[in-house]
């Protein structure tokens, strides 16, 4: 159905190129136009209400309205609407926020560098690593290792470290010097008869073998999300990070923890690193840093990295990296207020209180569903993976787009959902969600999943 000529949908089709969207299909189907938000819900231009099951893009931690954050932005815009951090300039919001992040870091950190998105933060981390190794006299130690299905953003460097085909195809990525190792997903990658701990050992062994094959003197860093997000909400098996970090330490390879999705309470601890026992050299964060009310991200570096960067900048006369909006005072002020709100509401305690409603609900209600191969998650992040054959773990043909089909059914039932690669359906609601709202969300999802099962049975796509 063609949208009315002057409608928002028609104007969108005529003028916007959307991220992560099939442009040809969009021209036919048009957008879902969201006009306002309230708590964990958003509303479209037709007045329909939806529970946002993935907090937008894993990011609207405090929901879709918060008067304190609006006030913080307004106050800062009136006082100092912009200033930069180049050539030693500064302002209170950036200073306050850097101090707060250092105080809250999961391991001792020395300095904070501000960017505008998770992609920029991870891209900056890559550049810092290269700069650091040049500065300390290791110009050959430059290769970066990510993981297959890992997600670290979409700039040229971060998009290369990302391990998803859709982010590489037609973009000429990954660039040279970026490698990928095993996805720590026991359900899909574990071998017959292999225990989870044995699988974790194999993942570490394969990383060790990759580093040795490339030459340890050439491998600089390993990037990992504590819990993999866009690649499927993949929680690594027990002992995985313990064994991975032993390999990295053996070869003097830096660990970059990408906390863009996991940070600020999502996994049931303040940082995903704390949930998973990770001791990073560099930590990147974004999204929930400002509850996504305004764009801001940060790179936290330990003192060893800082000293190398400082020596390099002294030798050249400048650390020649930065963005016009690095530490912009308005997003920084909003982020400061966001962290204060987390403290006051005891965000970690709240997540621990309501997370069992999500995790137990997903497992008790959907683990035995004939369309569900695996349920996984931790804290307030989870996923169900849809399969064509439960007994054999056979996946659906990607061309059938079963995951996106389910999200469309869910939309009609008042849910906005996210389909992941491999027909995973993600759950990562705003951190303020209540137990009652989680139950409502799962009820609507159950209805949607059953409707999909009926359709697939009628079409002989799945034996359900």
Contact 419, 53 (CB under 8 A): no
Q: DSSP letters of 125-175?
A: HHHHHHHHHHHTT-TT--EEEEETT----SSHHHHHHS--GGGTTTTT-SP
Please check whether residues 325 and 357 belong to one and the same domain: no
Please check whether residues 294 and 352 belong to one and the same domain: no
In percent, how much of the chain has pLDDT > 70?
98
Last residue of a domain, one of 292, 327, 345: 345
Please check whether residues 274 and 230 belong to one and the same domain: yes
Number of domains in the chain: 2
Please check whether residues 38 and 122 belong to one and the same domain: no
CATH number at residue 372: 3.90.1150.10
**Mean pLDDT, the chain, whole residue set:** 97
- Domain extent at residue 325: 68-345
Please check whether residues 303 and 383 belong to one and the same domain: no
Contact 386, 372 (CB under 8 A): yes
Please check whether residues 142 and 229 belong to one and the same domain: yes
Burial annotation 151-188 (CB, 10 A radius, 16+ → b, else e): bbbbbebbbbbbbbeebeeeeebbeebbbbbbbbbbee
Please check whether residues 267 and 380 belong to one and the same domain: no
Please check whether residues 422 and 295 belong to one and the same domain: no
Please check whether residues 93 and 162 belong to one and the same domain: yes
Q: What are 359-414's pLDDT values in tens digits? A: 999 999 999 999 999 999 999 999 999 999 999 999 999 999 999 999 999 999 99
Q: For residue 139, is the peptide bond before it cis, meaning its omega torsion is within 30 degrees of 0?
A: no
Q: What are 258-275's pLDDT values in tens digits? A: 999 999 999 999 999 999
pLDDT of residue 300: 99
Q: Is the pLDDT of residue 287 over 80?
A: yes
Please check whether residues 341 and 351 belong to one and the same domain: no
- Torsion region of 24: left, alpha or beta (phi above 0 gives left; psi -120 to 50 gives alpha): alpha
CATH number at residue 98: 3.40.640.10
Q: What are 71-87's pLDDT values in tens digits? A: 999 999 999 999 999 99
In percent, how much of the chain has pLDDT > 90?
97
Please check whether residues 333 and 356 belong to one and the same domain: no
């Amino acid at each position: 159905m063609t949208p009315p000529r002057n409608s928002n949908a028609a104007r969108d089709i005529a003028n916007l190129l959307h991220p992560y969207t099939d442009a040809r299909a969009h021209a036919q189907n048009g957008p879902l136009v969201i006009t306002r938000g309230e708590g964990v819900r958003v509303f479209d231009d037709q007045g329909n209400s939806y529970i946002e099951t993935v907090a937008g893009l894993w990011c609207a931690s405090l929901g879709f309205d918060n008067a304190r954050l609006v006030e913080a932005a307004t106050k800062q815009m009136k006082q100092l609407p912009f200033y930069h951090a180049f050539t030693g300039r500064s302002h209170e919001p950036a200073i306050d926020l850097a101090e707060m992040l250092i105080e809250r870091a999961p391991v001792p950190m020395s300095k904070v560098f501000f960017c505008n998105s998770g992609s920029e933060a991870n891209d900056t981390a890559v550049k810092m690593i290269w700069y650091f190794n040049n500065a300390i006299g290791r110009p050959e130690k430059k290769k970066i290792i990510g993981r297959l299905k890992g997600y670290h953003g979409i700039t040229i460097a971060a998009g290369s470290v990302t391990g998803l085909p859709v982010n590489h195809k037609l973009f000429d990525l990954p660039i040279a010097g970026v490698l990928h190792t095993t996805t720590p997903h026991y359900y899909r990658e574990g071998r017959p008869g292999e225990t989870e701990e044995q699988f974790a050992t194999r993942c570490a062994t394969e990383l060790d073998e990759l580093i040795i094959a490339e030459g340890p003197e050439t491998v600089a860093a390993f990037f990992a999300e504590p819990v993999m997000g866009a690649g499927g909400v993949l929680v690594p098996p027990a002992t995985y990070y313990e064994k991975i970090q032993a390999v990295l330490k053996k070869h003097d390879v830096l660990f970059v923890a990408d906390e863009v999705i996991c940070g600020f309470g999502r996994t049931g601890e303040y940082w995903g690193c704390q949930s998973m026992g990770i001791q990073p050299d560099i930590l990147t964060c974004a999204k929930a840093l400002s509850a996504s009310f305004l764009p801001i991200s940060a790179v936290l570096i330990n003192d060893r990295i800082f000293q190398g960067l400082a020596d390099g900048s002294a030798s050249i006369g400048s650390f020649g990296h930065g963005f016009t909006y690095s530490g912009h005072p308005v997003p920084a002020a909003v982020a400061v207020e966001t962290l204060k709100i987390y403290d006051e509401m005891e965000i970690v305690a709240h997540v621990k209180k309501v997370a069992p409603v999500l995790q137990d609900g997903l497992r008790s209600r959907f683990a035995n569903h004939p369309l569900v191969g695996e349920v996984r998650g931790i804290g307030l992040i989870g996923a169900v993976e849809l399969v064509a054959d439960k007994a054999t773990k056979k996946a659906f043909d990607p061309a059938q787009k079963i995951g996106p089909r389910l999200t469309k059914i869910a939309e009609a039932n008042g849910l906005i959902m996210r389909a992941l690669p491999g027909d995973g359906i993600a759950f990562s609601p705003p951190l303020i969600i209540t137990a009652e709202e989680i139950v409502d969300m799962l009820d609507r999802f159950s209805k949607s999943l059953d409707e999909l099962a009926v359709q697939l049975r009628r079409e002989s796509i799945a034996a359900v």
